[in-house]
Structure 1
Amino acid sequence: MRPSLLDPLFAPITSLEGVGPKVATMIEKVVPADLGDRSARVGDLLFVLPHSVIDRRNRPGIALAAEGAIVTLEVRIDRHQPPPRGNRSVPYRVYAHDDTGEIALTFFHAHAAYLEKQMPVGEHVVVSGRMEWFNGRPSMVHPDHIAPLSDAASLPLVEPVYPLTAGLSGKVLRRAIGQALGRLPELPDWLDPTVAKKHSFPAFAAALERLHDPSDPIDLSPEGAAWRRLAYDEFLAGQLSLALTRTHVRRLSGRPLKGDGRIEDAIRKALPYSLTGSQEFALAEINADLAEPERMLRLLQGDVGSGKTVVALLAMARAVEAGGQAALMAPTEILARQHLATITPLAERAGLKVAILTGREKGRERSATLAGLEDGSIDMVVGTHALFQEPVKFRDLVLAVVDEQHRFGVHQRLAITAKGDAPDMLVMTATPIPRTLVLTAFGDMDVSRLTEKPAGRRPIRTVTLPLDRLDELIGRISDAVAEGQKVYWICPLVEESEEIKLTSAEDRFAILKQEFGDIVGLVHGRMKGAEKDEAMRAFKEGETKILVATTVIEVGVDVPDATIMVIEHAERFGLAQLHQLRGRVGRGDKPSSCVLLYKDPLGETAKKRLSVMRDTEDGFLISEEDLKLRGEGELLGTRQSGTPGFQVARIEFHADLLEVARDDARLILARDPDLQTERGQALRVLLYLFGRDEAVRLLRAG
């Protein structure tokens, strides 16, 4: 049960004064919590943090106030000048002065009686707002604050500025947040006193108070003690919930999977090459995990083309040797079919039966696959998330391999868990993830890294080219195609959009088709599955030599004789994505190149991004740079996918706290696995505060 102490924070925001359904909908747009299908609660408002402040301590006097500056002035009211009767387009002006000069306070669509009451002639008042100068005359349009001199002390001197959305005013949001802070109950402290002391963390309530009511702009720095305290709380909640998931998942005891090695040997013999040192090392780690009675939860990180699929296949072979079935799940159909094409010939040489299951298999074919999985005649199955939907039953699923994990959240991991008798799990990703993010998204897993490229892979030469040299590029491509080379041409959009002036895939396809004729193909996300497969087949078999595509081809598409990758408007892509796309070439034995086409002028970040791409092919290095340039939410794509994006923490500022939180979480659970002690109970409150309710449920289920 949620502690009743938290009830005030779990009330809907419509229980706050001045927040009706319409305002609530607008506030929900600025709440950083992942609301999913629930409405915003009072507690969510605590974490809507200001992004900057208005400093009203600037009091220069009228004549010395700079254009556009926010200033506070003490003035005497001289006269009111209402607009001519019947002409509402002329503003209402109130003239006032101080020792340095005169100013017009300007109001559109004003209520005269209200203004006369606020600013009686002869009265001294304090006004605060943005200065504007017209023809040498100072003016302030709609001052933010007006108060009699006697109430000047009530003006907020340093005022927080919050993220807003259309229709939501700062005043309304500030009032709602103020009420939420007022409802914050006295909470037990969940911090380890030594951690709190070492980092000079203020108390939880004091940290919130300082951020929402700053007395100096420095109070709002993400590197200040108040923000760091809340970031640590959020990390601790996340690490605790991952550690609980891990404990729970391991407790659903797996079983030791030991094989005799004959299937693995048969597959190794069928391989046209031998494994790299890091593939052998990763495989040894995986096999050691499989042999243990606890469940395996392992992340296999490897750059594009480092040979993850083969490692996964050999692990799946071990599972089949032990008498069970294995499943490989990919995020897209293109990728699932490609894995099938890689795995089937090798598996069949070892006498295994492999099937595919995506949303596209229908009728008899689908029924036969479902029957084969249920009676155990199918040893391995490759598919999309269709594999883990209700009607699919396995005779004995012992190993689930999930490719490109960041596309699937922790919840999907748990859904897979439910399919077999707690199958071992191997998760693969070609998105090189910086160490800090591995901790946040995969803190519940052990990690293996593939750091070498397979033998025979050639480095890829990367060049940057401005769009105005396009003709030159087309000439060079014409020569390359004549020599039998194949080209990917990536565009950021499917069709031209009004707002963004970019060449879309469809336009580029039309232009290149005029130049090269029928050897140009097109593939994008809006095509039907069968059309995409047909376009990929034609390119693979050489019927087309130039494939114009959107980023659908980013993950895992394998055409070994494609040697040129053109990325149009490269400045619009993130580093990780550029790196993924570049990895589609350089898969054969011929030298390959990647051309990053950009539109001048380039912003600072875009320049930096393109130069990183030119300088290195090391995916892990690229991912660290990407993190610096973009922040964590973008990197994991979490803004869309519901994996752990953060409400308060900013990886780029708070990464050092992440390891501390992980160690703290592991230590707590080692000492108090059911969170029953006094600190354990306080930590339950923390888990609820940061929306980690599932973790508390696991405590009960455990």
Structure 2
Amino acid sequence: MSRPEILYPLYAELETLEGVGPKTAKAFAALGVERPKDLLYLLPASGIDRTRRASVRDVVPPATLTVEIEVGAHFPPRRKGGPYRVMVRDSQLEFQLVFFHARGDYLQTLLPTGQRRLVSGKVELFDGVAQMVHPDHVLRPEEASELPTFEPVYPLAAGLTQKVLSKAVTAALVRTPVLSEWIDPELKRREGWPDWRAAVQAAHLPKDVSGLAFTHPARARLAYDELFAHQLTLSVARASLRRGKGNASVGTGELQRKVLQSIGFALTGAQTRAVAEIAADMAAPQRMNRLLQGDVGSGKTLVAFLALVIAVEAGGQGVMMAPTEILARQHHEGLEPLAAAAGVRLALLTGRDKGAEREAKLAALAAGRIDILVGTHAVFQKDVHFRDLRLAIVDEQHRFGVAQRMELGAKGEAADVLVMTATPIPRSLALAMHGDMDVSVLDEKPAGRKPIRTVLVSTSRIDEVIAHLAQAVADGRQAYWVCPLVEDSEVVDYASAEARFQQLRAALGDGVVGLVHGQMPSAEKDTAMARFVAGQTAVMVATTVIEVGVNVPNASIMVIEQAEVFGLSQLHQLRGRVGRGSAASTCVLMYQGPLGESGERRLKTIRDTEDGFRIAEEDLAMRGAGDLIGTAQSGLPRFRVADLERQSGLMATAQTDARKLLAEDPTLSSPRGLAARLLLWMLDHERAIRLISVG
């Protein structure tokens, strides 16, 4: 398990590199560089063309010029703080080098009159005279070969200069060993990728500007290495989850038939496909670890319930977990008629269950008198035991990491796990976040779902919006009114929501409008939501998006204030809260003009499409991967070379390749497997190596 010896030089302290002292090492930490190996993946962001020219005449100022000159006379400044000028002559023309705050004796030694030097820097015209202010490089003719024709420019942090950084990189490159190949030879040949060491060298010493492009073979190879290491780690985690043998749960189809008869409409093609994929996984002896990814309103809950029913048909139990109490209640209510139709015993367990009532539920669960349990995190508690748990379904991945999935799996000796998410994620991101899982996608709307009309309205027309709302309420319809997130303070949010609540109440009448916001105690939130669900209030004013995970079929209007401050996926999720009933629904995006370019692009995208996957792709293109899922809780890896937006194809290849390698060599002990271990070490994926060693 110890680190391979060949990598020792790359794991040494940074201070062992030439020109790096304790202070510089500290500055490097801000760039995420702690060991020489980290420098290898800190690639130049741009470059400067330092091609040798014969004369200043060969460039059009302002431009970078590299030229050999003969040093002429020195003219020290006439007044304190003035410019120090040195006249120089190239093969055709005379021009000036200009220095500020420089010591004369230093410049005399750097540029002795009558000698030849190579200078490189930016040339500008000043009163018709060509000047180079503070040349970047001044070299003797015999040192000229040290200056590359194309000089890489690195991202910097406080306390670092280009000079210090490129010196450290050069020193790290000298230490780079030749490593055995971990990439599939056929893939490498097809893509025309260089060997690892050659790729690192080429990425740091580009010949010209094309060497900086993400499509350049050296960069593409290093990006692939990162994605491959990441996918290997996920595949190892997936294999170790599956290694715990599962129970083969084979359904009879009998209860599923009863459920489908009771709903009175046919499944979509996507639903049928997803149910088949889940059933096949459940019937297999390994544990299922699948993600059910569905757009808003694509009928995920029904697919999930059919999966739970398969577990019951096979003689076991199922559990469905929701992130909040109110969502758990909602799931329970929604599933009750289906459970009744199939003759399946369904129960709800939340943090509210106390005392004798809770004891009775736990006893029934342990004895197998409950077939399907719906609950919150309460189902995790130590005293919750199942007689034979076959399937655990988790709603909304984001609040739920790999660790909890494993914990949940431990409840049943080998329960299959299905994770549901209502956030369509572009494929590249789904692979980056959930590469340890198999994915089923619901990308069709069930028949009978009406399209939602989406309109953009400027805030200045709020009175018209309220008048329309009053009419709709008089017609017996219900609406959501979402207030923007003001700054980052719940208190301010609360104040703005409170003000809007008062205004709507004054316009629509007492008892018509409800309010939920982040500052309210849970019980009050639940009561307010329950009143809205029951139709006692007609308009629900809400701050945070999270509160609106509920299903109110009669709600057919969604007003979103300052829609321009919300992300695309958020807007799509919010809009999906209406359009669930028989009435035609409308979503009003109110914006504060004038709109910036990206705000306008976001709102038009939402107005023009209801396809969550298209919206997610657009979101990714606009915001980048980290933002899309909120980097803090995204569980998204930080790639240094790979770019998920532009290299999504590589991610898919990396996943296939990683799974194939592990299938052929589960312990990574073949020559290619051992090489892959080196890659995992180098990119800090030791966890995977530990899991393999344990396995």
The answer to whether the superposition gives a TM-score over 0.5 is yes
Structural mapping, 1:639-650, within 5 Å: 640-650=633-643
* Aligned counterpart in structure 1 of residue 681 of structure 2, from 682, 688, 691: 688
Q: Measure, in 2, the Cα distance between the counterparts of 1:134 and 1:361.
A: 82
Report which stretch shifted further, 62-71 or 205-214: 62-71
Structure 1 pair 375–112 and aligned structure 2 pair: CA distance change class (3 A): farther
Structure 1 match to 2:496 = 507
Partner of 2:170: 178
Stretches of structure 1 that go unaligned for 5 or more consecutive residues are: 32-38, 498-502
Asked whether the equivalents of residues 103 and 139 of structure 1 are also in contact (C-alpha less than 8 Å), the reply is yes
Following the alignment from structure 1 to structure 2, what is the Cα–Cα distance between the partners of residues 67 and 341? 74
Cα distance in 1 for partners of 2:359, 2:85 equals 80
The residue that corresponds to 1:232 in the other structure is 224
- The residue type paired with residue 669 of structure 1 is L
CA 1:626–1:494 in 2, change beyond 3 Å: closer, same or farther? closer
Mean CA deviation greater in 119-128 or 188-197? 119-128
Partner amino acid, structure 2, of 1:533: D
* Structure 2 residue aligned with 1:595: 588
User: Which of 18, 39, 43 is 1:49 aligned to?
Assistant: 43
1:426 matched to which residue of 2?
418
Conserved? CA contact 1:496–1:507, under 8 Å:
no
For residues 700 and 306 of structure 1, do their structure 2 counterparts lie closer, same or farther at Cα, with a shift above 3 Å needed?
same
1:6 alignment counterpart: 7
Give 1:145 shift.
3.2
Once residues 544 and 115 of structure 1 are traced to their aligned partners in structure 2, the CA distance between those partners, rounded to angstroms, is 81
SS in 2 for 1:254: coil
Q: Residue 352 of structure 1: CA displacement?
A: 2.6
Question: Number of aligned pairs?
Answer: 683
Deviation at residue 459 of structure 1 after TM alignment: 0.3
Answer yes or no: is 1:545 the counterpart of 2:539.
yes
Task: Tell me the residue number matched to 2:155.
Answer: 163
Task: Tell me which residue corresponds to 2:143.
Answer: 151
Alignment of 1:65-80 (within 5 A): 69-72=63-66, 76=71, 78-79=73-74
RMSD: 4.0
| Letter aligned with residue 416 of structure 1 | L
**Does residue 403 of the first structure (1) align with residue 395 of the second (2)?**
yes
Preserved contact between residue 162 and residue 170 of structure 1 (Cα < 8 Å):
yes
Determine which of 666, 669, 674 is the counterpart of 1:676.
Answer: 669
Q: 1:225 offset after TM fit, Å?
A: 0.9
Task: Tell me whether 668-677 or 72-81 shows the greater mean CA deviation.
Answer: 72-81
- Judged with a 3 Å threshold, the aligned counterparts in structure 2 of structure 1 residues 158 and 464 are, in CA distance, closer, same or farther, namely farther
1:613 matched to 2:614: no
When structure 1 is superposed on structure 2, of 462-471 and 687-696 the one drifting more is: 462-471
SS in structure 2 at match of 1:418? helix
TM-superposed CA distance for 1:219, in Å, is 0.7
Q: What's the CA shift for 1:545?
A: 0.8
Residues 491 and 505 in structure 1, CA contact (< 8 A), matched pair in contact too: no
Partner of residue 571 from structure 2, selected from 566, 573, 578: 578
Q: Aligned-pair distance for 1:255? A: 0.7
Cα deviation, residue 406, structure 1: 4.8
Deviates more, 1:336-345 or 1:213-222: 336-345
SS of the residue 1:30 aligns to? coil
Q: Report the AA paired with residue 215 of structure 1.
A: K
Aligned partner of residue 558 in structure 1, secondary structure: coil
Specify the code of the residue in structure 2 equivalent to 1:355: L
1:66 and 1:512 mapped to 2: Cα distance?
Answer: 64
Q: CA deviation at 1:265?
A: 6.2
Does structure 2 retain, via aligned residues, the 8 Å contact 1:51–1:161?
A: yes
Deviates more, 1:394-403 or 1:332-341: 332-341
Distance 1:132 1:522, change over 3 A: farther
CA distance in 2, matches of 1:97, 1:386: 80
Give per-residue Cα distances to partners, 1:76-124, cap 9 Å, x unaligned: 4643546966xxxx4664444446565463435x566544543445555
Structure-1 residue corresponding to 2:318: 326
Q: State the Cα deviation string for residues 9-53 of structure 1 (Å, max 9, x = none).
A: 33454654555666555534433xxxxxxx944323322222222
In the alignment, is the contact (CA less than 8 A) between 1:524 and 1:552 conserved in 2? no
Over 3 Å counting, the alpha-carbon distance change for 1:156 and 1:345 in structure 2 is same
Q: Is the Cα–Cα contact under 8 Å of residues 631 and 650 in structure 1 kept in the other structure?
A: no
Consecutive unaligned residues of structure 2, counting only runs of 5 or more, are none
Whole-Å separation in 2 of the counterparts to 1:4 and 1:597: 61
Q: Which residue of 2 aligns with 1:222?
A: 214
Could you list the per-position Cα deviations for residues 166-187 of structure 1 after superposition, in whole angstroms to 9, with x for gaps in the alignment? 4544444434333333332221
Amino acid of the structure 2 residue aligned with 1:158: F
The question of whether the paired residues in 2 share the 8 Å contact of 1:407 and 1:641 is answered with: no
* Structure 2: distance between partners of 1:170 and 1:385: 51
Aligned residue identity for 1:673: P
* Aligned-pair CA distance for 1:663: 3.7
Q: Deviations over 1:153-198 (max 9, x none)?
A: 3234322233334454444443433333333222111223222211
Letter in 2 for 1:655: S
* Alpha-carbon distance, 1:376 to partner: 5.9
CA contact (8 A) 2:52 2:149 kept: no
Cα distance change of structure 1 residues 515 and 326 upon mapping to structure 2, 3 Å threshold: closer
Report the Cα distance in structure 2 between the residues aligned to 1:119 and 1:277, rounded to whole angstroms: 78
Show the counterpart of 1:562. 555
Q: Give the direction of change, closer, same or farther, for the CA distance of 1:393–1:77 in structure 2 (3 Å limit).
A: farther
One-letter identity of the residue aligned with 2:293:
Q
> Which residue of 1 is the match for residue 292 of structure 2?
300
In the alignment, the residues of structure 1 paired with residue 371 and residue 670 of structure 2 have an alpha-carbon distance, to the nearest angstrom, of 47
TM-score by length of 1: 0.83
d(CA) in 2 for partners of 1:490, 1:694:
43
How many angstroms apart in 2 are the aligned matches of 1:120 and 1:334?
A: 81
Contact 1:464 / 1:595 at 8 angstroms: preserved in 2?
yes
Q: Which residue does the alignment assign to 1:35?
A: none
CA distance in 2, matches of 1:510, 1:59: 69
In structure 1, give the amino acid aligned to 2:149.
L
SS of equivalent residue, structure 2 residue 412: coil
Which structure's CA Rg is the greater one? 2
1:534-583 per-position Cα deviation (integer Å, ceiling 9, x unaligned): 443344344361424233247x4323222223334444444333322221
Shift of 1:586: 1.0
1:208 aligned to which of 189, 194, 200? 200
Identity %: 49
Q: Distance in 2 between matches of 1:4 and 1:169?
A: 32
Question: How far did 1:516 drift?
Answer: 4.1
- Please name the residue that 1:500 is paired with: none
| Counterpart residue identity of residue 679, structure 2 | L
Relative to structure 1, the CA distance from residue 520 to residue 47 in structure 2 (aligned partners, 3 Å threshold; closer, same or farther) is farther
Aligned CA distance change for structure 1 residues 496 and 438 (closer, same or farther; 3 Å): closer
Q: In structure 2, how many angstroms separate the alpha carbons of the residues matched to 1:372 and 1:262?
A: 24
Residue 14 of structure 2 corresponds to residue 30 of structure 1: no
Summarize the Cα distance change of 1:421–1:230 in structure 2 as closer, same or farther, 3 Å threshold. Answer: same
Compared CA separation, residues 29 and 322, structure 1 to 2 (3 A): farther
Tell me the CA shift for residue 362 of structure 1.
8.1
CA distance in 2, matches of 1:368, 1:74: 91
Match of 1:317 in 2: 309
Q: Secondary structure at the match of 2:318?
A: strand
2:572 partner letter: H
Task: Check whether the contact 1:125–1:148 (CA below 8 A) recurs between aligned residues.
Answer: yes
Q: Distance in 2 between matches of 1:93 and 1:423?
A: 78
For 1:579, give the aligned amino acid.
Answer: H
Q: Which moved more, 1:533-542 or 1:269-278?
A: 269-278
Give the Å deviation of 1:309: 1.7
- When residues 443 and 642 of structure 1 are mapped into structure 2, their CA distance, relative to the original with a 3 A threshold, is closer
The 2-side partners of 1:319 and 1:230 are apart by 44
Q: What is the rounded CA distance, in whole Å, between the counterparts of 1:73 and 1:457 in structure 2? A: 71
Distance 1:21 1:605, change over 3 A: farther
